Amino acid sequence: MQEHAHSEHRHVFAQGARDGIPIGLGYFAVAFSLGISAKAAGLDPLQAFIASLLTIASAGEYAAFTLIAAGASYLEMAAVIFITNCRYILMSCAMSQRLDPETSTGHRIGMGAFITDEIFGASISREGYLVPAYTYGLASTSVLPWALGTMFGVIAGNILPSSVVTALSVSIFGMFIAIIVPPSKKDPVVLSAVLFSFLLSWLSGKIPLLSSVSEGTRIMVLTVIIASAAALLFPVKEAADEE
């Protein structure tokens, strides 16, 4: 019986590893652009590799590299990354509802450590109880390409001409634009929040009193204020509420 269980777990892990390959390829491309930002922040290839391997979050890492370049404090960096990655708490809660009650605390922590938007989406789409082996399989073929992509981005930034590096550094903004445009086109509230964020971010750097505050603190405060205001003024209606 135990041997059959181990065989089943190996099979599920292999499924996850297979499904994680296209995720890993996409991660490598995105992380390469992120590596350019890491290079601009003064990180060497090994530091960038470790940062990506431990963080596994595009927005969180970009915020971290931006704050490093701005000379922000560790406290500011921790606060901004926490706020940026708060969505993973919600994903963890959603996944916990799909776990077998007998799932150990160690496996729960392990699955939570590897949650990304794509790994969450692939895991939660499976029927029945979520099996830790599947999530580990997804991570086995996607997390390493993410870290390697960041490392090679730093290496490329050290080799390529400055004009090419400048062009590549813009690609990370293209990734974030690609993330916000689809929901903005569907929901006017999201579009208003995005535009308002742009405006307040620009104003905060121009107003004398606010511009003297560190960039990390400004990002943190604006994120909390705008997100809280949008949630309070325009709460998402559940199906039950609409009925």
How many domains does the chain contain in total? 2
Distances (CA, A) of 190 to 200, 201, 225, 233, 235: 15, 16, 15, 12, 11
Pair 137, 223 in one domain: no
For residue 152, tell me if it sits in a domain. yes
| Domain ranges, residue 141 | 2-171
Average pLDDT on 65-94 reads 84
Pair 204, 157 in one domain: no
Pair 167, 215 in one domain: no
Query: Among the listed ranges 4-8, 110-114, 139-143, which one has the minimum average pLDDT value?
Result: 4-8
Query: Among the listed ranges 58-62, 128-132, 165-169, which one has the minimum average pLDDT value?
Result: 165-169
Nearest to 137 by CA among 123, 148, 121, 116: 123
Pair 147, 214 in one domain: no
What are the tokens at 150?
């960041």
Q: What is the pLDDT of residue 144?
A: 93
Pair 69, 166 in one domain: yes
For residue 47, tell me if it sits in a domain. yes
pLDDT at 207 over 60: yes
Pair 40, 112 in one domain: yes
pLDDT in tens, 145-156: 999 999 998 998
CB atoms near residue 243 (< 10 Å): 5
pLDDT at 189 over 80: yes
pLDDT in tens, 28-64: 888 888 888 888 889 999 999 999 998 888 878 888 8
For residue 179, tell me if it sits in a domain. no
Nearest to 126 by CA among 106, 144, 87, 100: 100
Pair 135, 220 in one domain: no
For residue 177, tell me if it sits in a domain. no
Structural contact between residues 63 and 51, judged by C-beta atoms closer than 8 angstroms: no
Pair 104, 219 in one domain: no
For residue 178, tell me if it sits in a domain. no
Q: What is the pLDDT of residue 147?
A: 94
Q: What is the pLDDT of residue 242?
A: 46
pLDDT confidence tier of residue 166, bands split at 50, 70 and 90: low
What are the tokens at 206?
């121009």
C-alpha–C-alpha distance, residues 202 and 59, integer Å: 19
Pair 24, 129 in one domain: yes
